[in-house]
Amino acid sequence: MYHVPNTQTLRHPSFKSTRQLLEQKGQTAPSIIEWIADHNPEHPFFVYHDGTKLNEVSWRRVRDGIHRAAHYFSDRVKGPTSTTDRPVIAILASTDSITYWTSVMGIARANMAAFAISPRNAPDAIAHLLLNVQATALFVSSEAVLQNNAKRALELISTSEEYSSLTTISIHPMTVFEDIYPTYPEADVKYFPVIEYDLDSPACIFHSSGTTAYPKPITWKYRDTVLWFRMPWFGEIDLAKKELDARDFPYHTLWEASHTVMQRPLALH
């Protein structure tokens, strides 16, 4: 058991606290999200403006979106056949942070490793990163510059001696908001099977900025992802009823900005 200070959700008694769950060993981001969605289904997780009005996305809809994303990626990439043969799904996208975050968590929910690549990387850096993590597939958003950079990176991989050991990366369209958050939220959801994750397997991979050399991958294991949820409990401010804005510098991925949300898995209102 881990000790988690009682500092959060004190001002929001209607939100069922995750504190006891976070003190248990073996928890992961997917398991915690499932628990919160079951116990606090209608509490808001995301708030976004559609150009006309503010919209809230509840924990239930987030959980459903993660399951839709899990199917989206697993339907296009063959899933793991063993604990040591797990696909690495790379994302090269400039999309909204809600879609990005949900997609990354969907990949992790499907027992595959999500690799968030900054859209500011040049083709040679993208090729270097894909080779370094032995990526299985690359999902790219629709912007022409990213499509061209992705194709050029794969050309480098397939034609250069330096990259010749990795030649089987498939390329696919990145998810869009409507894929995982349909207009009618009550639309049927096909829930992904329950999975017992290898806690020492990669769940998410990020990378350094690449300021002085090629960017270097940074791996978070499934056991590490619980730390995103524990962080607020060791702070001085109760984040219940607080809204956090998720922004980042251009060379970082949208995931690094949107995972700020993970540091306050409590309630917005």
Single pTM value for the model: 0.88
Residues 6+ apart with CB under 8 A from 124: 153, 156
Euclidean distance between CA atoms 114 and 135, whole angstroms:
10
- Specify the DSSP element, H or E, that contains 182: none
The answer to whether residue 12 sits within a structural domain is: no
**For residue 10, is it within any domain?**
no
The dihedral region occupied by 22, where left means phi > 0, alpha psi between -120 and 50, and beta the remainder, is: alpha
Give the residue among 210, 267, 221 at the shortest CA–CA distance from 113: 221
Amino acid, single-letter form, for residue 89: I
Q: Does 47 fall in a domain?
A: yes
Name the one residue in this structure whose structure tokens are 């409590």: 266
Rounded to whole angstroms, how far apart are CA atoms 70 and 192?
A: 7
- Kindly state whether residue 1 falls inside one of the protein's structural domains: no
31-52 pLDDT, tens digit per residue, is: 999 999 999 999 989 888 888 9
Residue 29 lies inside a defined structural domain of this protein: yes
The structural domain count of the chain equals: 1
Establish if 167 belongs to a structural domain: yes
Report if residue 268 sits inside a domain: no
CA angle 247, 248, 251 (to 5 degrees): 155
What pLDDT is attached to residue 209? 80
Evaluate whether 251 touches 120 at the Cβ level (below 8 Å). Answer: yes
Q: What is the pLDDT along the chain (269 residues), one digit of tens a residue?
A: 789 989 888 877 788 999 999 999 999 999 999 999 999 999 989 888 888 999 999 999 999 999 999 999 999 997 665 555 789 999 999 988 899 999 999 999 999 999 999 999 999 999 999 999 999 999 999 999 999 999 999 999 888 776 555 558 999 999 999 999 998 766 788 999 999 999 999 999 999 887 788 999 999 999 999 988 888 888 888 887 777 766 554 445 544 544 444 444 443 43
Per-residue pLDDT of 126-173, as tens digits, reads: 999 999 999 999 999 999 999 999 999 999 988 877 655 555 899 999
171: in domain: yes
Q: Which domain holds residue 143?
A: 19-263
Q: Residue 246: which CATH number?
A: 3.40.50.12780
Report pLDDT for 163: 56
